[in-house]
Structure formats: C-alpha cells, structure tokens
Amino acid sequence: MHMNSTMIKRAVFDSFKKLDPRTQIQNPVMFLVYLSAIAVTLIYLAGWLGFANTHSMYTLTIALLLWFTCLFANFAEAIAEGRGKAQADSLRKAKKDIEAFRIESIETKETITKVNSTQLHKGDLVLVEAGMLIPADGDVIEGAASIDESAITGESAPVIREAGGDRSAVSGGTRVLSDSIVVQISQEAGEGFLDKMIAMVEGASRKKTPNEIALQIFLLALTLIFILVVLAMYGFSEFAAQEQGIPNPTSITTLIALLVCLAPTTIGALLSAIGIAGMSRLNQENVLAMSGRAIEAAGDVDVLLLDKTGTITLGNRQAVAFLPVEGVEERELALAATLSSLADDTPEGRSVLQLAKERYQIEREKDAAMEFIPFSAMTRMSGVLFGSYQIRKGAADSVKAFVQKNKIAWPKETDKLVEKIARSGGTPLVVLENERVLGVIHLKDIIKEGVQEKFEDMRKMGIKTIMITGDNPLTAAAIAAEAGVDDFLAQATPEGKLAMIKDYQKKGHLVAMTGDGTNDAPALAQADVAVAMNTGTQAAKEAGNMVDLDSSPTKLIQIVKIGKQLLMTRGALTTFSIANDAAKYFAIIPALFTTIYPGLEVLNIMHLHSSESAILSAVLFNALIIVALIPLALKGVKYRELPANKLLAQNLLVYGLGGIITPFIGIKLIDMIITLFIG
C-alpha cells in the first residue's frame, strides 16, 4: 500500500482518538489489554502515592508497554482506514450542491423550476442539459447522452447513458457532455451512490462479518482460558511461597503482563485492519463492495453466472438488417418494424427506427389512436395496436407461440432466417403484421474485449462460468462459444435466472452473479456475490452487493483473488498469533517460577537474565510483533493459484512454525539488549 506522511500523521492521531473506551470495547481481546494497561497504571500510581511498594521502574515500564500495545493495534486499524479516508476526501469534492432543473412531466419540459440538488426527492423529474452536472442518482427516462463519470470511476472516456435499456442509470455528480436527458431521481438526498461510496471507503458503515464475529468469539474464549490459567498460577505460587515461608515472588503486575502475553493479541490487534485492507484493495480495482461479507464469500465462489446482453456484450444491440420472407418487400418490413418501434424506448427499438430512416428514409410520428405494447423480459415482445391493425415484434419463439395460438401461418423460411442470424451470434426479432409474418430484424451486439483468456483463468481457479440470457439457444450458443464460457442457459426469464442460482446454492455451491438489467435484479439479490455493472440499471445496482465501476464481466477474477487473499491472511495471522502465544509459555514460565519450583529449571532452555527481564522482553516482543505484521495485514499474504488444501497446508507450516520460533529468538534478543542496559 502506498503511504505518505500525511496519511501516517493522520493514523498516529487517530490511534490516540481510538483509545476511547467505546471504540476499545468493540474488540474484546484488545479491550482486555486496555483494561490491563489501566490496572497497571493504577498500581504504579498507588505506589507513587505511597499506598503500596509498587513504585518501581518495572511497573512503570510494563504500564507504558501495555499502552503502546493498545496504540499499535489502533494504529494498524487507522493506517488501514487511511487510504479510504484519502479517497473519501477526493470523492467529497465531487459531491457539491448542484443547481437542478426540475420539471413536472416529460410533456411539459419547457417549464422548469430551478432547485438545489438537496431539495430533490425520489420520483422527481429533472432536465439535464449538455455541460450540466447530474444533481442526484436516477434513471434516464428520456433521451440519450454522453456522460463524463470520471468523478466516480476515475475513467476519463465518456460513457453513453440512455432511456429504456439496461444502460439507464446515472449518478449524481457526473457531467452530461452532449445532448439533454430527462432523469427520474431514484434516491433521496444523502443516500446516493456517492454518499454510499464515501461511507464505504471511509469504513464508516463497515460492519463485522459473521466470520469475523465467529473468530472474535473464539479469541475471546481463548482469552478467558488464559485468565483462568493465570489465576491458577497465582494460586499455586501463593501456596508454594507460604509452604516455603517466603514472600510470593509473583506480583499482580507480572500476572497481568503474563496474561497479555498469552492472550491472542496479535490477531486481535490486526483483525479489523485485515478486513479494511481487503475492502480497500477491492476499491483499487474499481469495485465497490456494499458488505464485507460479500468479499469473504468471493473467496469461496465456485460458480459464476453472467448475463449476456450488457455484461458479456456491450449491450447496445443495433438493428443492422431487415430480412423479409418471400413475397414481402424489404421496405414493407422496415415500415412495419418502424411502426412497432415508435414507442419502444429500448436501444433495440431506437436502432430499428434509425436503420429504417437510413435505408428507406422512413419516418413516422406517434398517433394518439395507437396503443403501444411495451417490451417486457417476460413476454419478449413489443408492438402496436391501431384499430384492427396490429404489429408485433419479438423473440422468434415468443412470436411463434403467439402465431400458433392465433392460428396464423408460420412461413418455413422464417426459421431459416432466424437460424442464420442466431448462428452468427445476432439476435433475431420476428415481425408480425396482422395475420402475416413479414420477416426478421437482425440485431447485432459486440462481445467486450479480452474476455476469452479471462474466462480461461477462471477455469484454472476452479470457477465454472455460465452465461444466462433471455436470448434464444442458437444466439446464446454462438456468443457462449465466442466468449469461451463453460455453459449457457438460453430463453431465461428473470424467474429462471433466480431459480438457477437457488438450485446451485442448494447443491452447496457458492454462487456469484454479474448482471446489469432490471431482469437480473432478482437473481442478483439471491447470489452470494452479486456484481452489478456500473453501466446497468438502478434496480440491478440496488440488488447487488458490489458495483464494478469498469463494468467488466471478468472483474470477478480480481474479486475472488482479493477474497481468497483476505481469508488466507486472516487464517495465517490467526495461526501465527496462537502459535506465538503458546511459545511464550515456554519462554517466560520457567523464568518466573523457578524460584519456587526449582524443577522447572529443565524447561528453562532460553536462560533469560531474570524473571523481570523475561516479562519485560515478552511484553515488548508482544507489542512489537503487532507493528512488524502491519504490512502483511495490509498487503495480504501472497496469493498463488494452488488447490485450497495445498495452500492451507503450506500456510500452516510457514505461519505455525514461524509463530513458534519467532518469540524464542525475539524474546532472547530483547532480553540480551535489556541486560546490556540494566546490567
């Protein structure tokens, strides 16, 4: 992690602020150290005031070391939060009060009321013209515009946002570069994407994940055991001392110090930093996670469902050809297609109008007598009714079902045209005019760049990729082959997508889903890891637990790596922490108790200078190891593409053995240095 002096200064300052007991109590293990620091300080003060004979350099040093232990733990968390805070500062600059043009309805666009962005409410309509900032989050409901989203994504290339399709979401604080759009506000002031993003990167809304809570309970249990151990030790030494008629050589201060050394303070101090750092690494990948739980789940994901249009492909399907059946003029098909698309405000519908205009100069106006049937992902059709005259266009199988139900003839040739388009990866839309199938519209979409090799990488990581689409099986097969996914499901309805995820989850898989459309929202809400494309609709973004600002279908690779790395780092440092505490037993117990139990001398392999220097060295080592491991907690342990069990075995070996050996060396070294100074 890149750090500068301002970030370090801020972290040092925050380390002291975090000494607030309300903050401390949230981390039980460190709270014990905190209480210990207070207790030893009071013991020292009691000696100083003459109430006891504890006014010693030893007590004072232990007290200070315990305070430093708390500060070091605070520092680990503060420095992990630092990057997010810096990012939040720059995001706040993008969030200012913006003047907005509020309108009553699309029809009365001319009458605008100028209001401040903070006065906008959910459902309000605003007109945003070229050069203006978008005042709040919403969906484009009329028009299309190119938008500079660099304030949020850091990406300078403008993006297109348009009404009707799956690319309608706009974020407050971004700038319209060309054209004008009508936006329907979807969020109350202060609850927008930018606000959420700021809260997220700042860690303000970070909640402990279930895994973190479970680990903390385990650490707390371990700590309670050590409290009992230390109390028992005191009992024994008191008893033995009385037997031998000597004063108990073990003071309360020493017992407290011993307790802190034995408690799992290393992982206790670094736990929250590890989580925040994972979140922050994700931010660097331009992914915004709404929960820490999602990042952890990402580490174990083994199935990825992707929707096709807008996720694997660019999502702006364009009409490129009108293919009439025999006996129908191409112009006739183009005209019917135009009429059926007059009110079809999807990118597909608009592109039909565009193509008819280019090829045949066909331009028609909406008529009050026309009744339009809007496109839906359920019916897969759209159209127009005009008295007894009607036109439908839609997915081949949907139109075919409609035709059969109404006993209309289905020209054989239609199937051939449909198949030809579908095999090329295009989307065929069949056009039906009254009792007559006129032909097929060829919609073309382009696969996003560089996805093939990335899907190959996912396979190596053990993740199965499945494309699910509302499109027909042939188109789906063509695109699936070109993109290189493992499997696909075609003609999926929103319910179908949802059912597929539930099915995999029931079989014990952890499922990730990437999508952009309103028709993906139910599935996204069900998936364990749900990545919404930033280009997608508000509905998809709301339903997901992550947003990919780059809208890349293969971003899951990085997300999974970061998730695995987070889990591995936590595991490794927990192993290290517990091994390192156990080792401290052998380092200090013999030195402490040999005066009363001479038999313990055989265990005294470290030959520390005195029992006091043994305790001081152990407490100092205990504090320093936290600082020493901060970089590892922030960077994460190195991730390699190995099978999970091999990786686990390797980590246990490295961090378990490391945890056992390090304290012996560390404490011995410190003891030698202390001895040099105090003789």
Ligand X SMILES: Nc1ncnc2c1ncn2[C@@H]1O[C@H](COP(=O)(O)OP(=O)(O)OP(=O)(O)O)[C@@H](O)[C@H]1O
> CB-based contacts of 309: which residues, under 8 Å, 6+ apart?
166, 315, 317, 445, 469, 470, 471, 517
C-beta of 153 vs 265, nearer to K ion:
265
C-beta of 548 vs 581, nearer to K ion:
581
- List binders of ligand X among 467-526 (CB under 6 A): 469-471, 517, 519
Question: Least separation, in Å, of the C-beta of 519 and ligand X?
Answer: 5
End-to-end CA distance of the chain: 41
Residue of closest CB approach to Mg ion: 517
Torsion angle (degrees, nearest 10) of CA 416, 420, 426, 427: 0
- Contacted entry of K ion, Mg ion, ligand X, none for residue 394, CB cut-off 5 to 8 Å set by kind: ligand X
- Contacted entry of ligand X, K ion, Mg ion, none for residue 393, CB cut-off 5 to 8 Å set by kind: ligand X
- List binders of K ion among 554-583 (CB under 5 A): 581
Does 382 sit near ligand X (CB under 6 A)? yes
Question: Least separation, in Å, of the C-beta of 431 and ligand X?
Answer: 10
Alpha-helical (H) ranges within 548-610 are 556-593
Residue 32 CA to residue 224 CA, distance in Å, equals 10
- List binders of Mg ion among 126-185 (CB under 5 A): 166
Annotated binding-site residue? 386 = no
- List binders of K ion among 259-278 (CB under 5 A): 265
Among 81, 137, 212, 307, which residue interacts with ligand X (rule: CB under 6 A)?
307
What phi and psi values does residue 178 have, to the nearest 5 degrees? -140, 160
C-beta of 168 vs 622, nearer to K ion:
622
The pairing of beta strand 464-468 with beta strand 303-307: parallel
Q: Can you read off the two tokens belonging to residue 391? A: 């036109």
Annotated binding-site residue? 381 = yes
C-beta of 296 vs 307, nearer to Mg ion:
307
Question: Least separation, in Å, of the C-beta of 425 and ligand X?
Answer: 12
> CB-based contacts of 483: which residues, under 8 Å, 6+ apart?
312, 447, 451, 452, 455, 467
Annotated binding-site residue? 212 = no
Q: Answer whether 549's CB lies under 8 Å from 534's CB.
A: yes
- List binders of Mg ion among 458-517 (CB under 5 A): 516-517
SS3 string of 93-153? HHCCCCEEEEECCCCCCCCEEEEEHHHCCCCCEEEECCCCECCCCEEEEECEEEEECHHHH
Q: What is the DSSP letter of 470?
A: S
- List binders of K ion among 597-656 (CB under 5 A): 622
Residue 37 CA to residue 31 CA, distance in Å, equals 10
Q: Of the listed 124, 307, 445, 581, which one is catalytic? A: 307
Residue of closest CB approach to ligand X: 470
Residues β-bridged to residue 466: 305, 487
C-beta of 173 vs 517, nearer to ligand X:
517
Q: Can you read off the two tokens belonging to residue 553? A: 């279908």
The verdict on whether 195 is a catalytic residue reads: no
Question: Least separation, in Å, of the C-beta of 175 and ligand X?
Answer: 28
Kindly calculate the radius of gyration of the chain based on its CA atoms and give it in whole angstroms. 33
Q: Which residues are near ligand X by CB under 6 A?
A: 307-310, 344, 346, 348-349, 375, 377, 380-382, 393-395, 427, 429, 469-471, 517, 519
Q: Which residues are near Mg ion by CB under 5 A?
A: 166, 307, 309-310, 516-517
Annotated binding site for Mg(2+): 516, 520
Annotated binding site for ATP: 344, 348, 375-382, 393
